[in-house]
Amino acid sequence: MLVYILKRILYFIPTFFIIAGLTFLLGTMAPGDPVELKLSAGMQSSEGQGQASDKLTGEKAYREWNEKLGRDLPTFYFSVTSKSYPDTLYRVLRKTERDNLERLIDRYGNWPQIVAYYKSVKALESAAISLSIDASDSTAFSRVKTVRESCNNLYRHYENEVNQIDLDNIKTAVNTSIQVKDSSGNVINYLALSPIKAQADAVFSSYDAMKQQATTSLKYVPAIHWYGLHNQFHRWLFGDVPWFSANTDPAKVSKGFFRGDFGDSYLDNRPVNSILRDAMKWTLLMNFIAFIIIYSISIPVGVSLAVKKGTRFDKAMTASLFILYSVPSFWVGTMLIIFFTNNYYANWMDIFPPYGLGKIGPEYTTWAKITDRSYHLVLPIFCGVYGAFAYISRQMRGGMMSVLRQDYIRTAFAKGLAPNTVYWKHALRNSLIPIITIFSSFLPAMISGAVIIEYLFTIPGMGRVSYESTVALNYPVQFTILMFSAILTMAGTLLSDILYVITDPRISFTKREG
């Protein structure tokens, strides 16, 4: 038996890594740039306009945040790409720029030329930012702005037609001159943007080079790059702070999933684990109460139905339990809220609070706290309970019925035991085993159900947090909850399997594995 349990626990490990991998994969596909989101919350985005110093500090902050979040690392232990991709593309931090470079690679396939072009655009942009314009040409400002905006467009677009327009804009801006009088009074053509002309020409020539020296065939040669342990996935799970020695590097901040560090929320920078701790409290409390109610009602109901098998009472109850199981909880919840939380239809119907958990002030006594909380939790718990209650009652009835057919029950009756003793003492014990272990198959449904019930009744539990983070694209919270619910479910399954083996010695381990 010990071997079986150990084996089950060992199976858990690869399963965990597969789920972690899938969750991480989802995370990498998430659109948007969290660092940009973080920075733009603090200040207005200054791309294209703004002062040169703004732009530089912005770049610096951007770089620092990326390092803090570990986004300057390669994504996974290895990457499989085509040979036209460089293995260092992850060093381009901005996702929009990186995506655009990937598009260019897909189109032209010649990384050396593409990177030359990319660098020339960068050089032109920084030259345009640091260009000081003298007062003799007041129209030059708008032209410098054109150059910078065009550069920004070039970072974002890969379509040749779009880029040609921006290149033409740069060309006109750089080559526009006005006539001014020089110190000796002669009228000359003055090129205000002549200092950046060399950089602009470099952009034009490198763009043409990239277009002409395309090596699209490289796209069809696969290449594998190995990055080792310094990658985002590894950092996410294990962190980059050393496990057993003191942390000397202030740049290393992440402890990793295994040490309870799930990152920070994008919205308010709160650590995800503190958000989860607060949310989990409510979901666990509600499910715990629900669990007790379900079992304490459905076991007697199931037993009495099995005892009265075939009677009209049994038939009616079984059918209605089956139908009750099909009633969607969000429908019941909506109806309860509409009809029983306000006095629109009748004064007596305003029985329950419509949402939330109520406010508990310091003046409340313990008893007042408990009653107020339970008053708020009645409807949500009811919505979460009845489906599982119907299901487990039916299971209990089935289990009890198969036990009642067995010989030892007949023996018990034959030796003259009171029927109630037979049912509640001898039969119940054996039919309980599958019912106790059935809860594991209910865990995913309960977690999913929590999303809807907590959304309906505005209860700040895991489900509500998960819903809100989906709407707000708050990925760290979202994916941590996904991971947690999967782990919880697997742990539940593991526990119920082990319980099953422990409680029922008749079960053979070897057969169960096959």
Partner 1 sequence: MSQEQKNKKPDQSYWGIVKRQFKKNRLAVWSLRVVYLIFFVGIFADFLANEKPLYCKLEGKTHFPVLLDYGVSMGLVKMPPELLNVDWVKADYESVLRAPIPYSPLTQDFDNAFASPTKKQDVTSWRFRHLLGSDQLGRDLLSGLIHGTRIAMLVGIVSMSIASFFGILLGAIAGYFGDNRLQVSRVTLLLNVVFVFFGWFYAFEARTYIMSDALSDSFGSFSFQFLISLLLFLAIMFIPNLIAMLFKGISFLGKPVTIPIDIIISRAIEILNSIPILLLILSVCAVVKKPSIMLIMVIIGLTGWTGIASYIRAELLKVRSLEYIEAAQSLGFSEWRIMLRHAIPNSLTSVLITVAFGVASAILTESSLSFLGIGVQADVVTWGKLLNEARSEVSSWWFAVFPGLAIFVTVTVFNLLGEGLTDAMDPRLKQ
Would you tell me which residues interact with partner 1 (CB under 8 A)? 11, 14-15, 18-19, 23, 26-27, 29-31, 80-82, 103, 106, 219-220, 222, 319, 322-323, 325-328, 330-332, 334-335, 337-339, 342, 344-345, 444-445, 447-448, 451-452, 455, 466-467, 469-471, 473, 475, 478-479, 481-482, 485-486, 489-490, 493, 514
- Report how far residue 113's alpha carbon sits from residue 136's, in angstroms, rounded to the nearest whole number: 38
Q: Which is nearer to partner 1, 105 or 400 (CB)?
A: 105
Q: Which is nearer to partner 1, 313 or 322 (CB)?
A: 322
Shortest spacing between CB 267 and partner 1, in angstroms: 13
Q: DSSP letter at 425?
A: I
Shortest spacing between CB 119 and partner 1, in angstroms: 24
Helix axis angle, 312-326 relative to 366-404, nearest 10°? 120
Which CA distances in Å does 7 have to 4, 11, 498, 501? 5, 6, 11, 13
Q: Which is nearer to partner 1, 11 or 313 (CB)?
A: 11
* Alpha-carbon 99 to chain mean position: 22
Q: Which is nearer to partner 1, 93 or 473 (CB)?
A: 473
73, 232 contact by CB (below 8 A): yes
User: In the numeric block, which tokens belong to residue 502?
Assistant: 């422990």
User: In the numeric block, which tokens belong to residue 287?
Assistant: 């499910």
Q: Which is nearer to partner 1, 200 or 390 (CB)?
A: 390
- Report how far residue 96's alpha carbon sits from residue 110's, in angstroms, rounded to the nearest whole number: 20
Shortest spacing between CB 419 and partner 1, in angstroms: 26
- Report how far residue 136's alpha carbon sits from residue 178's, in angstroms, rounded to the nearest whole number: 10
Shortest spacing between CB 230 and partner 1, in angstroms: 24
Within 8 A by CB and 6+ apart from 511, the residues are none
513, 8 contact by CB (below 8 A): no
- Report how far residue 73's alpha carbon sits from residue 105's, in angstroms, rounded to the nearest whole number: 21
- Report how far residue 457's alpha carbon sits from residue 476's, in angstroms, rounded to the nearest whole number: 24
Shortest spacing between CB 349 and partner 1, in angstroms: 11
Shortest spacing between CB 482 and partner 1, in angstroms: 5
The DSSP annotation for 37-84 comes to: HHHHHHS---SSSS-HHHHHHHHHHHHHHHHHHTTTS-SSSEEEEETT
The DSSP annotation for 120-137 comes to: HHHHHHHHHHHPPPPTT-
Range 167-184 burial, b when 16+ CB lie within 10 A, else e: bebbbebbebeeeeeeee
Residues forming a β-bridge with 189? 179
Q: Which is nearer to partner 1, 150 or 283 (CB)?
A: 283
User: In the numeric block, which tokens belong to residue 1?
Assistant: 């038996």
Q: Which is nearer to partner 1, 266 or 295 (CB)?
A: 266
Q: Which is nearer to partner 1, 103 or 373 (CB)?
A: 103
Shortest spacing between CB 334 and partner 1, in angstroms: 5
Shortest spacing between CB 462 and partner 1, in angstroms: 9
CA dihedral 103, 104, 110, 115 (to 10 degrees): -110
User: In the numeric block, which tokens belong to residue 19?
Assistant: 């789920």
- Report how far residue 379's alpha carbon sits from residue 368's, in angstroms, rounded to the nearest whole number: 19
Q: Which is nearer to partner 1, 27 or 48 (CB)?
A: 27
Residue ranges with strand state E in 265-331 = none
**What is the three-class DSSP state of 417?**
coil
Q: Which is nearer to partner 1, 43 or 445 (CB)?
A: 445
Shortest spacing between CB 474 and partner 1, in angstroms: 8
Q: Which is nearer to partner 1, 29 or 246 (CB)?
A: 29
Residue ranges with strand state E in 120-256 = 178-181, 187-190, 222-226
Shortest spacing between CB 340 and partner 1, in angstroms: 11
Residues forming a β-bridge with 223? 81
Shortest spacing between CB 329 and partner 1, in angstroms: 8
223, 79 contact by CB (below 8 A): no
Shortest spacing between CB 390 and partner 1, in angstroms: 11
Q: Which is nearer to partner 1, 33 or 125 (CB)?
A: 33
